[in-house]
C-alpha cells in the first residue's frame, strides 16, 4: 500500500514536525502558550492538506482546533480523531535530563513534555492523513480532527464544544487521543473509560482549633468525619450508598471472554507498587475484572489538625476529606451525588458539607461493534499483534463523544506504558510513532470499506 511506504520514507518529516510542536510550550494549567500552540497546530494541519480553523466558546476557554478532509468518494463514512494540544506542566525542571521543551533526540527516543501525551499521538494522525493525500490525492474516508486545549486540566468545556458543534462534528467513529503499548510492544485497543466523581466532604465543629484537654466537651470533627466516611464503603471495597449500583449491568459474555484473554502480570504489578495483596484478596481474573469494571470510593486525601513533626495536643476545628469515585457505565454523576447526599442525611450526617469538583460518566464501545474488528485488524497488521481491552481503569471524556455524536470510540496509539507521561523525561519512541501512523493509515482504509 502506497501510503505505508510513504510513512516509511518520511519519518524525518514526522520527527521534525513533532519537535516543532514540543518546542511550543502549551501548559493549560498555567495558560502558557495555549493560543500560540492552537495557531501552530492549525498551520500544521493546513500544511498537511487538512483544511482547518480555530473554534471558540468565549473568553477564558481554550480554543479548539478543528480540521477536515472530505473524501472524493461519494457516501464515504467519517472518521474523527480526537486529540489535545495542551500538556502537563514540566515541573520539576531539575529532574529533566534535557530541557523539557527542546525535543531532544537520543537514539530511538524523542524527549520533551508532550512528546507522547499528546503531541506524539496527534502527529501520527496528521501524518497518516497526509500519507494518503500525498500518494493517492484523496482520503479513503472523510476525516475530522477535534483537537482541544484543556484535556490536562479535565476537559472542562469539551462537552459544550460537542453540543455547540454537533452537526459539524458528526461522524461514524472516533479514534481516541491515546492508546497504550505494553512492555511487550503490544498495542492495547481500548474500548472504554471509567467515569469519575470527585467530591470534598467537610465538617466544621468549632470556629477555631482548641487545646485538646477540651476534648471532653468539644466534639472532634475528625472523629465525626471518620464515622461518616466509614459508612460509605465496606472493607472489601463495596460501596454502601443506597442504590449506588442500581442501573449498572453486569459484563456480557463477550466482555468476560476478552477480559479472560487480556494479559496481566500480577507478580510484577505487585512488585512495582510494593504491595503484597489486592483489595478483597482479588487475584488473576478477578483483578482484571475489577480494573475494567469495578466502581471505587477512594480517599484521595484527609486533612485535619496537626500532622507535622513531633507532638501537638490540639483539637481541630475542622476536618476535610477528598474522595474520588470511579464510575462505571450507566452511573450518572448528578444522580450519584444526590444518592451520596441522601445517604449521609439518612445516616445522621446532615452536618457534612459536600462540594462537588468534577463529574463525568463512563463510556464503553461494545466488542461486537464492527468498528472494533477494523481497528483490531489494522493494529495486528501494523504491530504484529494487539490486545483488546474492555475498559481502561482511568477516566476521559469519552461519554461526551459517545453521547453527543452517537459514534463508537476506540483508543489506539503509540503511548509506551513506561514513556513517563506527566513526569520528567517524558519521551516518544520513534518505532512506535511509525507503527501507529501506519496503523491509522490502515484504519482509514478499512473503515471506508463497509
Ligand atoms: Zn495527559
* Tens digits of residue pLDDT in 262-271: 999 999 889 9
Distance CA 192, CA 194 (A): 7
Whether the full predicted model's pTM is greater than 0.75, yes or no, is: yes
| Whether residue 19 has pLDDT greater than 80 | yes
* Tens digits of residue pLDDT in 200-231: 999 999 999 999 999 999 999 999 999 999 99
Distance CA 5, CA 442 (A): 12
Q: How much distance in Å is there from the Cα of 311 to the middle of ligand 1? A: 40
Q: Residue 351: what pLDDT? A: 96
| Whether residue 1 has pLDDT greater than 90 | no
Contacts of 172 by beta carbon, 8 Å cutoff, 6+ apart:
77, 78, 79, 371, 407, 447
| Whether residue 450 has pLDDT greater than 80 | no
Q: Residue 391: what pLDDT? A: 97
Q: Residue 272: what pLDDT? A: 85
Q: How much distance in Å is there from the Cα of 382 to the middle of ligand 1? A: 25
Tell me the pLDDT of the chain averaged across its residues. 97
* Cα R_g (the chain), whole angstroms: 24
Q: Residue 162: what pLDDT? A: 98
Name the residue among 64, 112, 107, 105 with its Cα closest to residue 88: 112
Q: How much distance in Å is there from the Cα of 33 to the middle of ligand 1? A: 17
**How much is the average pLDDT of 4-17?**
98
**Which grid coordinates belong to 294?**
469495578
**Using an 8 Å Cβ cutoff, are 331 and 340 in contact?**
no
3-state secondary structure of 204: strand
Q: How much distance in Å is there from the Cα of 439 to the middle of ligand 1? A: 22
Q: How much distance in Å is there from the Cα of 3 to the middle of ligand 1? A: 29
Q: How much distance in Å is there from the Cα of 114 to the middle of ligand 1? A: 8
What's the chain's length in residues? 450
Q: Residue 327: what pLDDT? A: 98
Q: How much distance in Å is there from the Cα of 208 to the middle of ligand 1? A: 40
Q: How much distance in Å is there from the Cα of 446 to the middle of ligand 1? A: 29
Q: How much distance in Å is there from the Cα of 181 to the middle of ligand 1? A: 15
| Whether residue 283 has pLDDT greater than 80 | yes
Percent of the chain with pLDDT over 70: 100
* Tens digits of residue pLDDT in 299-356: 999 999 999 999 999 999 999 999 999 999 999 999 999 999 999 999 999 999 999 9
Q: How much distance in Å is there from the Cα of 395 to the middle of ligand 1? A: 11
Distance CA 373, CA 171 (A): 18
Q: How much distance in Å is there from the Cα of 421 to the middle of ligand 1? A: 7
| Whether residue 87 has pLDDT greater than 90 | yes
Q: How much distance in Å is there from the Cα of 240 to the middle of ligand 1? A: 32
Distance CA 215, CA 229 (A): 21
| Whether residue 32 has pLDDT greater than 90 | yes
Q: How much distance in Å is there from the Cα of 336 to the middle of ligand 1? A: 26
Q: Residue 43: what pLDDT? A: 98
Beta bridge partners of residue 384, listed in sequence order: none
Q: How much distance in Å is there from the Cα of 87 to the middle of ligand 1? A: 7
Q: Name the pLDDT band for 75 (thresholds 50, 70, 90).
A: confident
DSSP notation for 284-308: HHHHHHHHHH--EEEEEEEEES--S
**Which grid coordinates belong to 126?**
496528521
Q: How much distance in Å is there from the Cα of 117 to the middle of ligand 1? A: 5
Q: How much distance in Å is there from the Cα of 449 to the middle of ligand 1? A: 33
Neighbouring C-alpha atoms within 13 Å toward the C-beta of 114: 32
Q: Residue 152: what pLDDT? A: 94
Q: How much distance in Å is there from the Cα of 304 to the middle of ligand 1? A: 31
Q: How much distance in Å is there from the Cα of 422 to the middle of ligand 1? A: 6
Q: How much distance in Å is there from the Cα of 333 to the middle of ligand 1? A: 22
Q: How much distance in Å is there from the Cα of 178 to the middle of ligand 1? A: 9
Q: How much distance in Å is there from the Cα of 175 to the middle of ligand 1? A: 16
Q: Residue 107: what pLDDT? A: 97
Q: How much distance in Å is there from the Cα of 364 to the middle of ligand 1? A: 20
Q: Residue 74: what pLDDT? A: 77
Q: How much distance in Å is there from the Cα of 440 to the middle of ligand 1? A: 20
Q: How much distance in Å is there from the Cα of 153 to the middle of ligand 1? A: 9
Q: Residue 102: what pLDDT? A: 96
Amino acid at each position: 500500500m502506497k501510503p505505508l511506504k510513504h510513512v516509511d520514507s518520511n519519518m524525518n518529516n514526522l520527527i521534525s514536525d513533532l519537535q516543532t510542536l514540543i518546542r511550543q510550550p502549551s501548559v493549560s494549567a498555567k495558560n502558557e502558550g495555549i493560543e500560540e500552540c492552537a495557531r501552530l497546530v492549525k498551520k500544521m494541519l493546513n500544511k498537511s492538506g487538512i483544511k482547518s480553523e480555530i473554534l471558540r466558546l468565549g473568553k477564558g476557554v481554550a480554543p479548539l482546533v478543528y480540521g477536515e478532509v472530505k473524501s472524493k468518494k461519494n457516501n464515504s463514512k467519517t472518521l474523527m480523531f480526537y486529540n489535545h494540544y495542551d500538556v502537563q506542566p514540566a515541573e520539576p525542571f531539575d529532574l529533566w535530563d534535557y530541557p523539557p521543551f527542546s525535543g531532544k533526540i537520543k537514539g530511538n527516543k524523542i524527549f520533551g513534555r508532550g512528546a507522547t501525551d499528546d503531541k506524539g499521538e496527534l502527529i501520527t494522525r496528521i501524518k497518516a492523513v497526509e500519507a494518503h493525500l500525498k500518494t493517492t490525492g484523496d482520503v479513503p474516508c472523510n476525516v475530522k480532527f477535534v483537537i482541544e486545549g484543556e484535556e490536562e486540566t479535565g476537559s472542562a468545556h469539551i462537552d459544550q464544544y460537542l453540543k455547540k458543534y454537533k452537526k459539524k462534528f458528526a461522524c461514524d467513529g472516533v479514534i481516541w487521543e491515546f492508546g497504550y503499548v505494553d512492555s511487550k510492544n503490544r498495542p492495547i485497543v481500548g474500548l472504554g473509560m471509567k467515569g469519575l466523581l470527585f467530591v470534598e466532604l467537610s465538617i466544621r465543629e468549632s470556629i477555631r482549633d482548641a487545646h485538646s484537654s477540651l476534648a471532653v466537651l468539644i466534639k472532634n470533627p475528625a472523629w465525626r468525619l471518620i464515622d461518616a466516611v466509614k459508612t460509605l464503603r465496606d472493607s472489601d471495597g463495596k460501596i454502601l450508598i443506597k442504590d449506588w449500583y442500581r442501573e449498572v449491568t453486569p459484563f456480557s459474555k463477550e466482555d468476560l471472554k476478552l477480559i479472560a484473554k487480556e494479559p496481566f502480570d500480577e507478580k510484577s504489578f505487585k512488585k512495582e507498587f510494593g504491595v503484597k495483596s489486592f483489595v478483597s484478596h482479588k487475584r488473576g481474573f478477578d483483578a482484571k475484572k475489577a480494573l475494567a469494571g469495578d466502581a471505587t470510593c477512594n480517599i484521595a486525601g484527609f486533612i485535619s489538625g496537626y500532622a507535622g513533626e513531633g507532638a501537638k495536643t490540639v483539637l481541630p476545628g475542622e476536618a476535610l476529606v477528598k474522595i474520588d469515585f470511579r464510575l462505571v457505565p450507566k452511573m450518572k454523576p448528578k444522580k450519584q451525588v444526590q444518592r451520596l447526599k441522601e445517604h449521609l442525611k439518612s445516616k445522621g450526617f446532615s452536618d457534612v458539607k459536600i462540594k462537588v469538583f468534577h463529574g463525568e460518566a463512563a463510556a464503553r464501545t461494545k466488542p461486537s461493534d464492527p468498528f472494533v474488528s477494523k481497528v483490531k485488524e489494522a493494529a495486528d497488521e501494523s504491530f504484529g499483534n494487539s490486545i483488546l481491552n474492555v475498559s481502561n481503569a482511568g477516566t476521559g471524556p469519552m461519554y461526551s463523544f459517545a453521547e453527543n455524536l452517537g459514534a463508537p470510540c476506540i483508543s489506539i496509539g503509540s503511548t509506551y506504558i513506561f514513556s513517563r507521561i506527566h513526569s520528567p523525561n517524558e519521551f516518544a519512541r520513534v518505532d512506535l510513532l511509525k507503527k501507529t501512523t501506519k496503523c491509522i493509515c490502515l484504519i482509514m482504509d478499512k473503515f471506508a470499506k463497509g
